[in-house]
């Protein structure tokens, strides 16, 4: 696992996903290619993460997506491909990171 020097992950979405996973699994650090199931994840944890994502972004995120895409990198890419990332959701993610005193990735 590699974490950028400032502690932020690839983008806002990945940073939020990492924090959600680390909080739900009570484990750090979790990298973008760590497998959800290999690090202790199961369907109930996936539901907790999906709930936190719904609360953070204000849009439904089905926990099954996490089960089908069991790495942060794969899940983030699936969400991007499905049009999940919008300027409004990016702002919500940045607000989440600031609220939790986490590094906010530089826009690319």
**This prediction's pTM:** 0.84
The percent of residues above 90 in pLDDT, for the chain, comes to: 69
Q: Within the chain, where are the H helices?
A: 12-25, 43-57, 63-68, 72-81, 87-99
**C-alpha distance from residue 73 to each of 14, 20, 57, 99 (Å):** 7, 14, 18, 23
Q: Can you say whether residue 104 is alpha, beta or left, with left for phi > 0 and alpha for psi between -120 and 50 degrees?
A: beta
- The answer to whether 39 and 72 have CB atoms below 8 angstroms apart is no
DSSP letter (8 states) at residue 40: T
pLDDT per residue over 54-91, tens digit each?
A: 999 988 889 999 999 999 999 999 999 988 888 888 99
pLDDT per residue over 3-23, tens digit each?
A: 443 344 678 999 999 999 999
CATH of 12-99, one of 3.10.129.10, 1.10.1200.10, 3.30.420.10, 3.20.20.140: 1.10.1200.10
- Rounded to 10°, the helix 87-99/12-25 angle is 50
Look at residue 9 in the predicted model and tell me its pLDDT: 60
d(CA 4, CA 50) in angstroms, rounded, equals 25
């Amino acid at each position: 696992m590699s974490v950028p020097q400032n502690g932020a992950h690839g983008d806002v979405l990945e940073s939020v996903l990492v924090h959600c996973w680390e909080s739900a699994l009570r484990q750090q650090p979790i990298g973008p290619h760590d497998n959800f199931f290999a690090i202790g994840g199961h369907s109930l944890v996936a539901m907790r993460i999906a709930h936190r994502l719904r609360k953070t972004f204000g849009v439904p995120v089905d926990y099954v997506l996490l089960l089908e895409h069991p790495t942060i990198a794969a899940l983030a890419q699936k969400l991007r491909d499905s049009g999940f990332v919008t300027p409004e959701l990016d702002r919500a993610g940045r607000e989440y990171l600031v609220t939790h005193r986490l590094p906010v990735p530089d826009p690319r």
